[in-house]
Amino acid sequence: MNITQSTKGENLISIKISVVKADYEENVEKTLKQMRQRANVPGFRPGMVPMGMIKKMYGTSAKMEALNTIVSDSLNKHIMDNKLDLIGYPLSDNEMQQPADLENQDDIDFYFEAALRPEINVDFTNTMVDFYHIVPTEEEVDKVVADLQERYPNSSHPETVGENDRLEIKIREAKNGKEVEGGFEKDGLYFNMSQIKNKTQRKKFLDKEVGSEFIVNFAKVFGSEEEAAKILGEGAPAGSDFNIIIDDAIRDEKPELDEDFFKKIFPDKEIKDLDAFKQAVKAEMEKQHEAETDPILFNKMVDELVAAVKFDLPDAFLKRWLVENSRGQLTAEDMEKNYEKDYVKGLRWQLIEDAIVKANPELIINDEEVKDFVLKQIFPGIDYASLEDDMKANLDKIAANYLKDERQVEQIKNQLADVKMTRFLKGKMNINFAETTAADFMKKLEEERKAK
């Protein structure tokens, strides 16, 4: 066997594999012997069919199988031995490949063409991207502050029930004013006084002391058996009377904008006054806006790099490669029509991204980063480093079980890679940020969308 390689065009090579009979003859004989053992031919016992008949019946297919194997193995070895950095995988060279007469031809030449990855030098200094930095308005900051007061109220446990308290109760099924022996009972139920719409029914609870017990019908209290069932849970006789015991009343009140509240929201910061608190809230809002708009910025940075980084592509080869790897989903006509619009940008960015990662291996997502991401998704806020070894081992098992899904792992890696690449490009490229509001930013996006 002889393998030769030659240049066919810009970033395109030709590989010729010359196969002679001695290269594949042994494999053909081995395959035919196996076929002889399995052949079921009338008039012959299994394994006793004459070899000449076997060769006549299966010789061509056995030869084709042996040739496919040896050519494929030789092509892969040539790629590995010569460290060829290819785009995709070689294709049969339709211009050079001649039809083979497998029945009569012993020596056959196989021709392939392959696309080499171009040498790509990414120069970030000459790039420029115009984008926006969203600055929250004073009204937006005040709204978030008010929302935080709602989400983080001061809770107390009064001795008597008030208008808007949340109650913890236990219930015992009752009849004729007495508990039913063996009847339905349940502890640890919660509901808000605001859920009771009927004024008469609300009066039964208002000003009751914690520890009080009395008979009520929850269907009447909440307006229907369906509403009562939502509180009482599955299996409860929602239309029955119950003796209830009020175990606790929880009263949430709007907190003062003082240092205690500031510490609750920002435990790692020393905030003394409202202005400093609003500035901290505003900074967090800006970070959130940045995280939300980074994917849009990423696309703009990709567009800029695709336009700025120049290199040639073997387009004719790539069109054919895309069609042949589409599993019948694309035709050559489709590719000619849509290549520039739908494929060129993606191909060029993939090659640019690969070049960036090759020059900056810290951008590669490792298994530890994937595990950390999974643990943060399952246990948000957990400080893994501070845990005991046995707890770490348990969490590692949970993460390992989650990561058995290879498709899920690949999705996570792609997500993390985009985040890491975005951060990297923001630090390397020239970006002209213009301040704007969230509302104006959305208007600008819509204008850009219509202009395309």
- For residue range 179-203, list pLDDT tens digits in order: 999 999 999 999 999 999 999 999 9
- For residue range 322-340, list pLDDT tens digits in order: 999 988 899 999 999 999 9
For CA atoms 308, 311, 316, 319, give the dihedral sign: negative
Say what the pLDDT of residue 86 is. 95
Mean pLDDT of the region 165-192: 95
Say what the pLDDT of residue 46 is. 75
CATH topology of domain 2-116: Alpha-Beta Plaits (3.30.70)
Q: Is the pLDDT of residue 127 over 90?
A: yes
Distance CA 384, CA 144 (A): 30
Helix (H, G, I), strand (E, B) or coil at 207: coil
Helix (H, G, I), strand (E, B) or coil at 212: coil
Distance CA 439, CA 134 (A): 9
- For residue range 81-104, list pLDDT tens digits in order: 999 999 999 999 988 888 888 888
8-state DSSP, 209: B
Planar angle of CA 125, 131, 135, nearest 5 degrees: 130
Whether pTM exceeds 0.75: yes
CATH topology of domain 154-253: Chitinase A; domain 3 (3.10.50)
Closest CA to 215 of 183, 258, 249: 183
Domains 2-116 and 154-253 share a fold: no
Domain residue ranges of the chain, discontinuous segments joined by +: 2-116, 154-253, 274-311+360-451
